[in-house]
Amino acid sequence: KQEVTQIPAALSVPEGENLVLNCSFTDSAIYNLQWFRQDPGKGLTSLLLIQSSQREQTSGRLNASLDKSSGRSTLYIAASQPGDSATYLCAVSTGANSKLTFGKGITLSVRP
Amino acid sequence: KAGVTQTPRYLIKTRGQQVTLSCSPISGHRSVSWYQQTPGQGLQFLFEYFSETQRNKGNFPGRFSGRQFSNSRSEMNVSTLELGDSALYLCASSLIGRGIQNIQYFGAGTRLSVL
């Protein structure tokens, strides 16, 4: 059974800091991995998707990496801003179907 | 292009009642998945529908059911509501196909409160 872990559960950093959010999964036979952002009381916004054959994806100030063999992914946020404050969720898919297994998320607070 | 639309946004029900939630996917998306989000359990997969067929089901009791219509719109139903069913219910749609990135697009969710 696939399990996804995100530690720590919460993180507070000063504005401008570069930071790394970690995600680990137990079954390396994944199809893809997605990082999402969730603002309070809202739905999820897809940030980056990494296919199992890829090592990283970049979008603006965000960079996500994937190491399948060790069961790890990281989301790197450069030059953090208060607007980056949200919960960041990592989710893996083990097939071409749409079932995602989520971590519990990391709640990020960026202090002005 | 309109995003995933879920209705209603908020619902208050009492124990024992039943409820139906609706999800309209992004135009052209034929896969619709449902998730339950609670503070304790996080996001848990309920089921997925593709071309009106349930392809995948999570570990939830039979009180939770769903269906998909020919226009890809989906509904989920929860019968005999329990207090523990209080949650944010999220719907996601995706474009399934060979060589297509299976990015999931989520709606804003329906907040269900069971009293």
* The pLDDT of residue B11 is above 80: yes
DSSP state of B72: S
Q: What is the mean pLDDT of residues B61-65?
A: 96
Q: Beta strand pairing status for A86-93 and A101-102? A: antiparallel
CA distance A58 to B73: 32
C-beta separation of A87 from A107 below 8 A: yes
| A-B contacts (CB, under 8 Å) | 71
Q: By three-state DSSP, how is residue B83 classified?
A: helix
Going by pLDDT thresholds of 50, 70 and 90, the confidence category of residue B48 is very high
> With a cut of 70, which residues of chain A have pLDDT below it?
none
* The pLDDT of residue B82 is above 80: yes
Neighbours of B41 (CB within 10 A): 12
A42 touches chain B (CB under 8 A): yes
Going by pLDDT thresholds of 50, 70 and 90, the confidence category of residue B97 is low
Whether B106 and A105 lie within 8 Å, measured CB to CB: no
Whether B103 and A34 lie within 8 Å, measured CB to CB: yes
B115 touches chain A (CB under 8 A): no
